[in-house]
């Protein structure tokens, strides 16, 4: 597969991306990161916690949130607190999540370009919650989740009916304005869509395919 670095284990992939984050932090302690949720970045976050880096001047921006109570056990705010923010020396006020005031989120991101954006990918090619058909010009906004995404994410809830039907996501244009992008994919169920996104046509039907137009993107995979 073109343009994709393959790893033999999930641990190796997680450590490799942690090295990239660490290098960025050491180069500039006031770095700005865009961060993902989902199962894929769990190993990365564990690795970063173990490294005891200095996060005291870092700003983070999460890619997306479900429209639900932020203190719910399955909210992305809770996920980030439990897996990263509560375990590192970052200021909670420096950890930003999209909310209904989408203009203000965009303004924050536009102020100074984000140094590093870390992404996962959905089985339908979504990045953040930009589902197939999202405009390449899209910015932070409220979106409806597709049936495929509801099904995929139902593993974190008691049933598919419990998965929130709407989310607030950064747009594809917003993501593309990052200086550097790292996409992580883990599991054979991501192999086909990764191939289509990275080697196929650049099309709004496959949101991740927009990354082919970014000049500083790396893609990592392990099965």
126 is catalytic: yes
Beta-bridge mates of residue 34 = 61, 117
Taking the least distance from each CB to ligand GLP, the nearer of 55 and 76 is 76
18 counts as binding ligand GLP under rule CB under 6 A: no
CA distance 75 to 152: 16
39 counts as binding ligand GLP under rule CB under 6 A: yes
x/- mask, ligand GLP, residues 149-188, rule CB under 6 A, reads x---x-----------------------------------
131 is catalytic: yes
DSSP 93: G
- CB of residue 218 vs ligand GLP: minimum separation in angstroms? 16
Q: Number of residues in contact with ligand GLP, rule: CB under 6 A? A: 14
Give the chain's count of helices (H) and strands (E). 7, 10
DSSP states of 123-185: TTS-BTTB-TT--TT--SEEEEPPHHHHHHHGGGSSSGGGS-SEEEE--HHHHHTSS-EEEEE
Taking the least distance from each CB to ligand GLP, the nearer of 20 and 57 is 20
The residue annotated as part of the active site, out of 47, 62, 64, 130, is 64
Taking the least distance from each CB to ligand GLP, the nearer of 115 and 131 is 131
| Four-residue CA torsion sign, 82, 86, 91, 93 | positive
Nearest one of 179, 185, 127, 187 to 4, comparing CA atoms: 185
115 is catalytic: no
Taking the least distance from each CB to ligand GLP, the nearer of 57 and 146 is 146
CA distance 33 to 199: 27
- CB of residue 88 vs ligand GLP: minimum separation in angstroms? 20
63 counts as binding ligand GLP under rule CB under 6 A: yes
- CB of residue 141 vs ligand GLP: minimum separation in angstroms? 14
DSSP-H helix ranges across 5-159: 10-27, 42-51, 76-83, 102-111, 147-153
Which residue in 37, 62, 130, 209 binds ligand GLP (CB under 6 A)?
37
The residue annotated as part of the active site, out of 106, 126, 130, 182, is 126
The total of other beta-carbon atoms located within 10 Å of residue 29's CB is 13
Distance from chain centroid for Cα 203: 20
x/- mask, ligand GLP, residues 114-153, rule CB under 6 A, reads ------xxx-----xx-------------------x---x
Q: Binding residues for ligand GLP, per CB under 6 A?
A: 36-40, 63-64, 120-122, 128-129, 149, 153
Q: Which residues are catalytic?
A: 64, 124, 126, 131
């Amino acid at each position: 597969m073109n343009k994709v670095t393959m790893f033999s284990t999930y641990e190796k992939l997680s450590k490799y991306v942690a090295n990239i984050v660490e290098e960025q932090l050491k180069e500039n302690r006031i770095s700005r990161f865009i961060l993902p949720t989902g199962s894929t970045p769990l190993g990365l976050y564990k690795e970063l916690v173990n490294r005891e880096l200095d996060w005291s001047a870092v700003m983070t921006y999460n890619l997306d949130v479900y429209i639900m109570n932020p203190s719910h056990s399955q909210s992305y705010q809770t996920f980030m607190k439990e897996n990263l923010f509560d375990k590192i020396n970052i200021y909670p006020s420096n950890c930003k999540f999209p909310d209904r005031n989408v203009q203000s989120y965009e303004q924050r991101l536009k102020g100074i370009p984000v140094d590093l954006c870390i992404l996962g990918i959905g089985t339908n090619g979504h990045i953040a919650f930009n589902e197939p058909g999202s405009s390449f010009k899209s910015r932070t906004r409220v979106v409806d989740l597709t049936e495929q995404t509801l099904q995929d994410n139902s593993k974190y809830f008691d049933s598919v009916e419990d998965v929130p039907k709407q989310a607030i996501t950064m747009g594809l244009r917003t993501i593309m304005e990052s200086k550097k992008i790292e996409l992580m994919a883990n599991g054979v169920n991501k192999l086909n869509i990764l191939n289509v996104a990275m080697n196929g046509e650049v099309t709004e039907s496959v949101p991740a395919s927009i990354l082919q137009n970014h000049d500083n993107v790396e893609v990592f995979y392990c099965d």
